[in-house]
């Protein structure tokens, strides 16, 4: 993978993380940087899953199928991280 490919993957991961935050309903009590970090991981995992289920990633433009898989993985990961880590520091009155 080239430097350009890595930078592109990071940028796509940041966008996927932000989209994952928007897709999950309700308020997530985790910082935005954690959403973005989850997005980078979800972008990588989403690409692997898209390849595994046969969604082609060799398109000349935007691969909407792969992007959809990445956003779904990010939404699931954001929901899990928010439910596990988001409860810390929250006081109920």
- Over residues 78-87, the mean pLDDT reads 72
Read off the pLDDT band of 48 (50, 70, 90): confident
Residue 86 pLDDT: 55
- Which H or E run includes 70? helix 64-85
Residue 92 pLDDT: 46
Query: Exposed (0-12), middle (13-18) or buried (19+): which is 42, by Cβ within 10 Å?
Result: buried
- Over residues 23-40, the mean pLDDT reads 77
pLDDT over threshold 70, residue 8 = yes
* Distances from the Cα of 45 to the Cα of 50, 69, 72, 77, 92, angstroms: 9, 9, 11, 11, 35
């Amino acid at each position: 993978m080239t430097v350009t490919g890595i930078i592109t993957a990071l940028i796509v991961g940041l966008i996927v993380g932000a989209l994952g935050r928007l897709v999950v309903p309700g308020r997530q009590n985790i910082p935005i940087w954690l959403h973005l970090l989850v997005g980078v991981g979800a972008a990588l995992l989403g690409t692997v899953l898209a390849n595994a289920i046969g969604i082609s990633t060799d398109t000349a433009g935007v691969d909407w199928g792969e992007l959809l898989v990445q956003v779904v993985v990010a939404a699931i990961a954001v929901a899990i991280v928010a439910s596990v880590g988001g409860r810390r520091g929250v006081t109920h009155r």
